[in-house]
Amino acid sequence: MNLKLAVLIKQVPDTAAVTPKAMKADGTLNRSALPAVFNPEDLNALEMALQIKEKYGAGVTAVTMGPPAAAEILRDALFRGADRVFLLTDRKFAASDTLATSTVLSRAIEKLGVFDIVICGTQAIDGNTAQVGPQVAEKLNMNQLTYVEEIQSIDSGRIRVKRVIEDGKETVESSLPVLLTVTGSANTPRPWSVKNIMKYKNAVTAQEVSEEKDINRLKQKGLLIEMLSCEKIELDSSLCGIAGSPTMVKKIENVVRKGKEHKKIELTDDGITGLLTELIADYTFD
């Protein structure tokens, strides 16, 4: 079996470090004010793709959309086992919401070739909308299986997975091609491979290289991280960035709930009875 897999990954701001400076006056996120990390569930998605590669035979293409600095997570993907990587970067993509982001990603997937399975994390920690994966599937007119936790089988053009639902788990099947969104409980992402680090440690984008001859040399060695612009994927600029984003963020807050007081209850019949009496009197428990 020679499956073709695309993994959508994202470099995100570390939301655990949110401060008032994280919000711009126009309602967009000031990403430069926060450290950048590999979106956790996208790591699970990459790991699932690599497991499929090992078990069934597949080529893994990792794609990310972001500023030139996002090339860092593409190097990370190469170190873990991805075969090809692409960086969607253009000032026209800046401030894209989920609708515009899915438009750019789906267009890039169409331009990069025909894929049997597209895999991404269920959601990104900078938005937690869980919208991009399903929107990409819709734009590609592709079947989708969400909240996937386990691949049970891939055979004869069909895939069977176990997915998480509100009251438990269910096993479902789909024909290929299909888009999967992967949960954080799906697996434990593997560490970097020393062999891959040695192979791809010099992988860079064209922007990081000064001379054309060096670009050609790196390309021949498979060490050039290809950059795709709005023009290269032949996308109307009105469909991406702020122009293509109807979503508006009003405010970002980091809410921390703290208890003001506590009361120790003795683990005796009298102690439990007293607790229940107080709860009933306070209308908390009835």
At the top level of CATH, the class of 3-244 is alpha beta
Does the pLDDT of residue 1 top 80, yes or no?
no
C-alpha to C-alpha distance for 277 and 286, rounded to whole angstroms: 10
- Is the overall model pTM greater than 0.75, yes or no? yes
**Which one is predicted more confidently, 206 or 50?**
50
Pull the structure tokens for residue 222. 């498979």
pLDDT > 90: what percent of the chain?
69
Q: Long-range pairs for 168-176 at CB < 8 Å and ≥24 separation?
A: 172/145, 174/143, 174/145, 175/143, 176/116, 176/117, 176/143
For residues 8 and 111, the answer to whether their CB atoms sit within 8 Å is: no
Q: Residue 24: its pLDDT value, please? A: 64
Q: What single DSSP character describes residue 242?
A: G
Q: What is the pLDDT of residues 176-226, one digit of tens each?
A: 999 999 999 999 999 999 999 999 999 999 888 878 788 888 888 889 999
Does the pLDDT of residue 59 top 80, yes or no?
yes
Least confident range from 20-24, 124-128, 190-194, 253-257: namely 20-24
- Where do the DSSP E strands lie in the chain? 3-9, 11-13, 36-38, 58-65, 84-88, 117-121, 143-155, 158-165, 168-175, 178-182, 204-205, 224-228
